[in-house]
Structure 1
């Protein structure tokens, strides 16, 4: 069986990058969808800045950035596997929906993380986010032509929206406890 060479793959990748850039400039840039994506990127962070107190910003931000990075990676897997696509992009730097992955979703999870330190309320808050994201925000993005489902159903997103923040809270608390233990060890007189 014959397969393409690495150089052939690179050439196709360069051509696809050129096509995407041309599409973005002619189709996306400065449309109302593009402006909406810009607002989706900026407004949640303004809200976050106003809500989260200065003394907790670093802790809450580290939790949210971890979530944003994983969300972005999962988004890339979904795009690459052909599960969904985004006909409108804020930038052409990657194929994911950056305003959603790095602003809207993480900021709302960070707000729940901050306001609900007890597990029961934290889980309830994340279920509410999951319901809103799956059954309100995603359908709106679909109706606006920003999000296109290919081989995915909205209901598949629901458990992911619930599990991600819970897993990351466990991981984040573990990291914080490890840091506290290391700090105690380093400050003990010898």
Structure 2
């Protein structure tokens, strides 16, 4: 295959993706926006962050936010991969521009983990990881499936458990690191 043939085929594929995305946005406007499931998603996107900002330990804000940011990055990336592989999909997106479920990856996971980290900080992190992973995989996922927000295709709830367990432990690890060194203004080459 020549480069010109390759580029023509790639263009056709991206045209299909663009057309599918246009259909998804039109469908979202007509069937998702302002449904009770959409409002639930908006509520779950905003309210947990408001609660966290009110109840967070001020002296730990940046440490917790660093952990939360890593959780957002990893959970949304894994969600993108799972959707692309056809393992699951979401039916009531808060925003149609993201393939993942915004409340799940960008709010519930990081906020719950940040609360768990700051509550009894000297507790065993494996117990907290067990609580987080078990609650998310065996309570959260079935709940969202029951209200038809989440549809597992080729995925069982138990498969989520080790990923969620690991995400919690990584966030805990990041939260317990010593302060970062200051950035040196000189670059060594």
Query: TM-score when scaled to structure 2?
Result: 0.87
Q: Is the 8 A contact 2:64 2:175 kept in 1?
A: no
CA distance in 2, matches of 1:138, 1:144: 10
Structure 1 residue aligned with 2:23: 19
Structure 2 residue aligned with 1:31: 35
Structure 2 residue aligned with 1:160: 163
List 4+ stretches of structure 1 deviating above 3 A: 1-4, 171-174
CA distance in 2, matches of 1:26, 1:66: 34
| TM-fit CA distance, 1:128 | 1.2
CA distance in 1, matches of 2:91, 2:134: 24
Specify the SS of the correspondent of 2:59. Answer: helix
* 1:48-67 equivalences in 2 (<5 Å): 48-67=52-71
Alpha-carbon RMSD across the aligned residues, in angstroms, is 2.1
Report the structure, 1 or 2, having the larger helix content: 1
| TM-fit CA distance, 1:172 | 4.9
CA distance in 2, matches of 1:159, 1:14: 34
Specify the SS of the correspondent of 2:100. Answer: coil
| TM-fit CA distance, 1:155 | 0.6
CA distance in 2, matches of 1:165, 1:17: 33
The count of corresponding residues between Structure 1 and Structure 2 is 180
Of 112, 115, 120 in structure 2, the residue corresponding to residue 111 of structure 1 is 115
Cα deviation per residue 1:130-159 (whole Å; 9 max; x = unaligned)? 221111111111011100010100111112
CA distance in 1, matches of 2:174, 2:107: 21
Query: TM-score when scaled to structure 1?
Result: 0.87
CA distance in 1, matches of 2:135, 2:114: 16
CA distance in 1, matches of 2:167, 2:148: 26
